[in-house]
Amino acid sequence: MSFEHPNREGHSIHEVERAIMSRPTEHKNKGLDLKRMSMMLDLLGHPEKSFRVIHVTGTNGKGSTARMAEALVRAYGLRTGLYTSPHLERINERIAIDGRDLSDDDFVDAYDQIKDFIALVDARSEQEGQAPMSFFEVLTSMAIWAFADAPVDVAVIEVGMGGLWDATNVLDADAAVIGPVDMDHMQWLGDTVGQIATEKAGIIKKGSTVIIGAQPHEEEVMPILEEAARERGAASVLHDGQELEVLSRTPAVGGQVASLRTPNGDYEEVPIDKFGVHQAHNALAALAAAETVIPVNGPLDGDLVAEALSQVKVPGRIEQVRTSPTIIVDGGHNLNAAQSLRAAIEENYDFQQLVGVVAMMADKQVEDYLGVLEPILSQVVVTENSWRERVMPAEDLEKIAVKVFGPDRVIRRDSLPDAIQEAVDLVDSQDETGVGYGRGVLICGSFVTAGDARTLLKETPDPDLAKPKSQRAEDPSGRSVPGADEAEGDDGDDGRGAGQA
């Protein structure tokens, strides 16, 4: 199988994205291994050896932990690379340098610089009867090359799936962070939490500082992680709840304030710009990882830690995107994610009415997920997201939802824009004050769903308002209105009109 390798000259980010994303997934390749990635790094001259690495895995929380660790390292003046997945709206989101996503031109340039090596790996793989590079292998290669080319001091790398055979595991971690291990991706990682833990323990390397987050299945998982650390010669192992502690936490506007303890010292009253007890533990893991790679003896500067963690934004993770009514977007898709989402909403909001908009992938634990959220949702609108190959059809999701919620609380709308509009209308119809207080919409079930919703709900500036007043269109009453050539119904900030974007 051959793939088009577009030249930089005259090609857009969209053409390059299509070339990358048309490649097979790891699951469709002939077996999971690191041969193609190892071959690529050999051809590139091993750029991964030029920077230190924080490697983050776990069933949930790895994206948040990675972003927090990157912010902490950058606060110390070190140059950082950040590689995360999936992207919600733009493929550029996956690769960032110094806290900024690669621009379209830089992303295309990164691809252009390694595309000939991709072709070589594809050709050699074909000769050996193996599959070509997957889209995730190509993106991982681009990230490593971009980080070395920058150059960065520290790269923070989020595992795509699992750990042992993940494309990112060609890197040797200085800090190997293993967040909560739970049941997810069972068709690829294993049918038991122990098998999944074995896969995730694969990121532990000789000399790593291993940071183990709080484990929901501690008895099954902890022995596996600790044995892997011993066998591979890890430098040290830090456990959440032992060497690492969340001493206290208090919900606050827009997030929380927590006191954290590492072996290096205590960090008092640290502001964290995310909701939920799980985010306090993610911050703790990120702090321990940052201490590993920042060349400072003793605890980090408390002011820098507070500044960094108070500004970390994690798109699509319990993210409030609108007010009046409140609209929350969350990309979590498994049981543990649903439990964290419910706990954060119960702790930080006082909803009289919360309408869910749910679209999920067909391979997830759909009934269990909905069952966790059932007590906090007054009604649920089931729908579909844009990933047609994997999304559960709305009629199938409706049948499961009816079993959980009962027929009177379930509405089906086959398109996400219509579903969001339906949910907003349900909330508005009960809002006698017109300010949306105590009423909200929760859009959840998949990162694809979260990304689609963020795109639909994104505020679009009215171009007419940028014109001098004399050039603006006016209605008969003399008031300025949106430009005469613009469609009516700008969504504004109130969420009404959602789905018309």
Q: What angle do CA 57, 61, 62 make, to 5 degrees?
A: 35
Q: How confident is the model at residue 186 (pLDDT cuts 50, 70, 90)?
A: low
pLDDT for position 27: 62
Beta bridge partner(s), residue 237: 210
Q: How confident is the model at residue 461 (pLDDT cuts 50, 70, 90)?
A: low
Q: How confident is the model at residue 5 (pLDDT cuts 50, 70, 90)?
A: low
Which 3 state secondary structure label does DSSP give 452? helix
User: Do 74 and 208 belong together in one domain?
Assistant: yes
> Which pairing describes strands 95-97 and 265-272: parallel, antiparallel, or unpaired?
unpaired
| Structure tokens that stand for 342 in this block | 């419910």
pLDDT for position 82: 98
Query: Would you put residue 241 in left (φ > 0), alpha (ψ -120 to 50) or beta?
Result: left
User: Do 301 and 326 belong together in one domain?
Assistant: no
Of 78-92, 209-223, 451-465, 483-497, where does mean pLDDT reach its minimum? 483-497
pLDDT for position 480: 28
User: Do 369 and 249 belong together in one domain?
Assistant: no
- Find the CATH number of the domain harbouring 367: 3.90.190.20
**Identity of residue 169:** N
Q: Cα–Cα distance between 213 and 45 in angstroms, integer?
A: 34
pLDDT for position 222: 96
User: Do 237 and 331 belong together in one domain?
Assistant: no
- Domain count of the chain? 2
Q: Cα–Cα distance between 180 and 86 in angstroms, integer?
A: 19
Beta bridge partner(s), residue 361: 391
Q: How far is CA 384 from CA 320, 358, 374, 501, in A?
A: 21, 8, 19, 17
Helices (H), 176-242: 186-189, 193-200, 218-231
Residues 6+ apart with CB under 8 A from 173: 53, 54, 55, 203, 204, 205, 208
pLDDT for position 490: 29
Q: How confident is the model at residue 388 (pLDDT cuts 50, 70, 90)?
A: confident
CB atoms within 10 A of CB 243: 15
Q: What's the residue count for the chain?
A: 501
The answer to whether residue 497 sits within a structural domain is no
pLDDT for position 481: 25
User: Do 263 and 390 belong together in one domain?
Assistant: no
**Dihedral sign of CA atoms 205, 209, 213, 219 in order:** positive
User: Do 289 and 358 belong together in one domain?
Assistant: no
The answer to whether residue 63 sits within a structural domain is yes
pLDDT for position 161: 87
pLDDT for position 368: 95
User: Do 257 and 203 belong together in one domain?
Assistant: yes
pLDDT for position 97: 98
pLDDT for position 477: 34
The answer to whether residue 125 sits within a structural domain is yes
The answer to whether residue 483 sits within a structural domain is no
Q: Cα–Cα distance between 296 and 290 in angstroms, integer?
A: 10
User: Do 88 and 223 belong together in one domain?
Assistant: yes
Which 3 state secondary structure label does DSSP give 224? helix
Q: How confident is the model at residue 389 (pLDDT cuts 50, 70, 90)?
A: confident
Beta bridge partner(s), residue 258: 249, 270
Q: What is the mean pLDDT of residues 442-448?
A: 96
Percent of the chain's residues with pLDDT above 70: 85
pLDDT (tens digit, 9 = 90+) per residue, 191-222? 688 999 999 999 999 999 999 999 999 999 99
User: Do 450 and 324 belong together in one domain?
Assistant: yes
Q: pTM for the full model?
A: 0.86
User: Do 297 and 362 belong together in one domain?
Assistant: no
Helices (H), 294-334: 302-309
pLDDT (tens digit, 9 = 90+) per residue, 296-330? 999 999 999 999 999 999 999 999 999 889 999 99
pLDDT for position 184: 64
- Find the CATH number of the domain harbouring 95: 3.40.1190.10
pLDDT (tens digit, 9 = 90+) per residue, 38-95? 999 999 999 999 999 999 999 889 999 999 999 999 999 999 999 999 999 999 999 9
Q: How far is CA 295 from CA 154, 192, 211, 379, in A?
A: 11, 39, 18, 52
**Mean pLDDT score of the chain, rounded to an integer?**
88
Q: Cα–Cα distance between 48 and 69 in angstroms, integer?
A: 19
**Domain limits at 218?**
13-309
DSSP letters, 429-449, are HT-SSSS-TTEEEEEES-HHH
The answer to whether residue 432 sits within a structural domain is yes
User: Do 305 and 323 belong together in one domain?
Assistant: no
User: Do 122 and 199 belong together in one domain?
Assistant: yes
Torsion angle of C-alpha atoms 482, 484, 486, 492, degrees rounded to 10:
10
Let me know: does 88 contact 447? Beta carbons within 8 Å: yes
